[in-house]
């Protein structure tokens, strides 16, 4: 049943984009899935949340117009079809007539229009607003049709619409000002209970247009210590867990009751340089830093080798072979030469500030 659950919800829960390592108990309960993760959601407004811990939960409850599948291809969600006009300045969606919110009310074009108008309203503080600035107006010819009129052709907007930050919420809830105070979406699960930093209880949305979920409900425990998560799995209190720390994952015992699944994460870790401050204003200094870094060594040390060295973009369709990029293989002699040419033969001091999302 776990395999069925994962397959059916791959787009809704975006498992492939959520977790790096997952541990599954072979004794999993087929009725209620008992899960655990180390970080809880920080809020319930899908348009405002940016923390991965929030998005993991909200993806179970809310749906956007479209999704991306495991191959990062756009597939239907609330919308069953979509089409750009010949000039690329109009994008028309046809909605699934079976789509409903979890309170049983039909999801219509009015809800889609209200959701995107809320996202575009600066007062909302929507996380993805910048992705939709090409939207000039929105028409709703009928309850199942939405037409986005664009100020200019904007092909990437379709991918932006696949994000939970572009989820469709009820127009009535927007009017009532209750978005974020409760969770009411059209996704596969309803949020029945949320004890912040402790537990979430969800039940299957029997009216979900996407079909059966494979489980009747999910109970999620928030356990900040991932070692404690493993202990709970060994005692069969937990069926499925998300492990973000590869070091902890290596502690999963090789026993019949636990199974470790590695799933690639579409994410990146990057050293960003501020070119407005000296000496980063010098191109050769930035190039020297690129030459001095052993990227594979960093990966092996920080992530125990989980992942791979990529170019600036990690999406497979747009990825560049790192071997074709400037100095992606460590070359200390070349780094020293570039530093000397930039006027910093003796090096310089700098502060590196770490940030996490």
- Which of these three, 141, 176, 211, is where a domain ends? 176
Asked if 249 and 314 sit in the same domain, the reply is no
pLDDT of residue 80: 97
Asked if 195 and 117 sit in the same domain, the reply is no
pLDDT of residue 2: 29
Asked if 168 and 225 sit in the same domain, the reply is no
Q: Which residue has the tokens 């949320």?
A: 194
CATH code for the domain of 245: 3.40.190.10
Asked if 118 and 172 sit in the same domain, the reply is yes
Asked if 166 and 251 sit in the same domain, the reply is no
Asked if 97 and 170 sit in the same domain, the reply is yes
- Which of these three, 202, 236, 262, is where a domain ends? 262
Asked if 80 and 167 sit in the same domain, the reply is yes
Asked if 206 and 154 sit in the same domain, the reply is no
Cα 199–Cα 32–Cα 28 angle in degrees, nearest 5: 105
Asked if 210 and 152 sit in the same domain, the reply is no
Q: Residue 82 falls within a domain, yes or no?
A: yes
CATH code for the domain of 272: 3.10.105.10
Q: Which domain holds residue 92?
A: 66-176
Percent of the chain residues topping a pLDDT of 90: 58
pLDDT tier for residue 260 given thresholds of 50, 70 and 90: confident
Residue 357 scores a pLDDT above 80: no
Q: Residue 59 falls within a domain, yes or no?
A: no
Q: What is the pLDDT of residues 122-151, one digit of tens each?
A: 999 999 999 999 999 999 999 999 999 999
Asked if 90 and 145 sit in the same domain, the reply is yes
Weakest-pLDDT range from 39-43, 104-108, 147-151, 233-237: 233-237
Weakest-pLDDT range from 95-109, 161-175, 224-238: 224-238
- Which of these three, 176, 200, 232, is where a domain ends? 176
Q: Residue 58 falls within a domain, yes or no?
A: no
- The residue with greater pLDDT, 354 or 276, is 276
Phi, psi of 278 (to 5 degrees): -70, 145
pLDDT tier for residue 23 given thresholds of 50, 70 and 90: low
Percent of the chain residues topping a pLDDT of 70: 86
Q: Residue 233 falls within a domain, yes or no?
A: yes
Residue 4 scores a pLDDT above 50: no
Q: Residue 213 falls within a domain, yes or no?
A: yes
Contacts of 155 by beta carbon, 8 Å cutoff, 6+ apart: 84, 88
Q: Residue 57 falls within a domain, yes or no?
A: no
Over residues 238-252, mean pLDDT? 80
pLDDT tier for residue 6 given thresholds of 50, 70 and 90: very low
Residue 156 scores a pLDDT above 80: yes
Give the tokens for residue 119: 């996202």
- The residue with greater pLDDT, 234 or 139, is 139
pLDDT tier for residue 256 given thresholds of 50, 70 and 90: low
Residue 71 scores a pLDDT above 50: yes
Q: Contact 185/46 with Cβ under 8 angstroms?
A: yes
Asked if 110 and 77 sit in the same domain, the reply is yes
Weakest-pLDDT range from 200-214, 217-231, 247-261, 319-333: 247-261
Over residues 263-281, mean pLDDT? 79
pLDDT of residue 270: 76
Asked if 99 and 156 sit in the same domain, the reply is yes
Q: Residue 164 falls within a domain, yes or no?
A: yes
Q: What is the pLDDT of residues 108-123, one digit of tens each?
A: 999 999 999 999 999 9
pLDDT of residue 10: 29
pTM exceeds 0.95, yes or no: no
* End-to-end Cα distance, the chain: 32
Q: Residue 44 falls within a domain, yes or no?
A: no
CA 281 to chain centre: 33
- The residue with greater pLDDT, 70 or 157, is 157
Over residues 316-320, mean pLDDT? 72
Into how many domains does the chain fold?
A: 3
CATH code for the domain of 108: 3.90.76.10
Q: What is the pLDDT of residues 172-224, one digit of tens each?
A: 999 999 999 999 999 999 999 999 999 999 999 998 999 889 899 999 999 99
């Amino acid at each position: 049943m776990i395999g069925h659950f994962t397959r059916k919800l791959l787009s809704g829960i975006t498992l492939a984009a959520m977790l790096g390592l997952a541990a599954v108990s072979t004794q999993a309960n087929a009725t209620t899935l008992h899960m655990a993760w180390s970080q809880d959601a920080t809020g319930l407004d899908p348009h405002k949340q940016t923390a991965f811990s929030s998005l993991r939960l909200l993806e179970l409850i809310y749906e956007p117009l479209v999704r991306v599948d495991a191959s990062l291809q756009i597939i239907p969600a609330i919308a069953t079809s979509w089409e750009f006009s010949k000039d690329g300045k109009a994008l028309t969606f046809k909605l699934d007539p079976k789509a409903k919110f979890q309170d049983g009310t039909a999801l219509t074009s009015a809800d889609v229009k209200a959701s995107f108008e809320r996202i575009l309203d600066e007062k909302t503080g929507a996380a993805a607003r910048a992705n939709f600035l090409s939207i000039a107006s929105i028409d709703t010819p009928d309850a199942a049709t939405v037409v986005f009129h664009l100020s200019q052709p904007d092909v990437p907007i379709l991918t932006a619409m696949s994000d939970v930050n572009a989820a469709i919420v009820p127009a009535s809830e927007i009017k009532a000002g209750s978005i974020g105070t409760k969770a009411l979406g059209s996704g596969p699960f309803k949020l029945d209970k949320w004890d912040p930093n402790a537990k979430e209880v969800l039940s299957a949305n029997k009216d979900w247009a996407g079909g059966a979920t494979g489980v009747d409900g999910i109970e999620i425990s928030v356990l900040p210590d991932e070692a404690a998560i493993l202990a709970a799995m060994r005692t069969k209190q937990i069926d499925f867990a998300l492990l973000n720390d590869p070091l902890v994952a290596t502690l999963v015992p090789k026993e019949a009751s636990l199974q470790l699944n590695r799933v690639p994460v579409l994410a990146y870790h990057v050293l960003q340089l501020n070119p407005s401050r000296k000496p980063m204003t010098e191109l050769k200094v930035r190039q020297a830093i690129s030459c001095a870094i052993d990227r594979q060594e960093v990966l092996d040390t920080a992530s125990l080798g989980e992942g791979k060295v990529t170019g600036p973009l990690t999406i497979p369709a747009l990825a560049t072979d790192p071997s074709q990029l400037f100095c992606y293989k460590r070359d200390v002699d070349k780094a020293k030469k570039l530093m000397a040419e930039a006027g910093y033969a003796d090096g310089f001091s700098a502060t590196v500030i770490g940030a996490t999302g």
